[in-house]
Amino acid sequence: MGVDLRVAMRNFATGVCVMSTKVDGPNGPEHDAVTVNSLTSLSLDPPLVSVCLRQDSVFLADLLVSGSWAVSILDIGASDVARAFATKREHRRAALATVSAVPGEHTGALVLDGPSWLECGLRQVVEVGDHTLLIGDVLATGSQDRRPPLVFLHGEYHAVGAGGANRHDREVRTR
């Protein structure tokens, strides 16, 4: 019996996020974003998170240049957004024009409308297998009570929990 990590991990539900970054291009700021499900809270004091990206990712190359990113946690209504940013760069850039997003105050990376978001500065890079683990200092966070979060399980998107779809207050924290 061999090791089939992909099959085993299909039984582990993960949250779904869109990670964005911004680099200075020849014509001004250039944004890119990708769907990720590897976001992990590492530490509350200091506030640290990690995310893993494939080593051959063009998004990773941009992020290493910029040194910062934003992560937007998606809700149940955003499965189409998750799919749009799980594609090639040219499709992702086109999708950026169609989503509700604003540049983050601390990073300039795009923050999408969703239940919560984080802006992060690169602290450490660790090459692990065929991925790169990025550890980031959390510079700012925001959240709003809304629809249940989107999760990925068995190769499909799902919603969990009841959430508070009627409240739309916003909490923002910065370091």
Those residues whose C-beta lies under 8 Å from the C-beta of residue 44, and which sit 6 or more positions away, are: none
Range of the domain at 33: 13-156
- pLDDT tens-digit series, residues 57-75: 999 999 999 999 999 999 9
Distance from C-alpha of 79 to C-alpha of 85, rounded to nearest angstrom: 10
- pLDDT tens-digit series, residues 109-152: 999 989 999 999 999 999 999 999 999 999 999 998 888 889 99
Q: What is the mean pLDDT of the chain?
A: 88
| Residue 27: CATH number of its domain | 2.30.110.10
The reply to whether 56 falls in a domain is yes
The reply to whether 3 falls in a domain is no
The reply to whether 32 falls in a domain is yes
Q: Six-digit token pair at 117?
A: 């978001």
Number of structural domains in the chain: 1
Average pLDDT over residues 157-172: 50
The reply to whether 108 falls in a domain is yes
Measure the CA angle with vertex 21, ends 19 and 23; round to 5°: 165
Residues above pLDDT 70, as percent of the chain: 90
User: In the prediction, which pLDDT does 160 show?
Assistant: 77
The reply to whether 164 falls in a domain is no
pTM here is: 0.85
pLDDT for 1 beyond 60: no
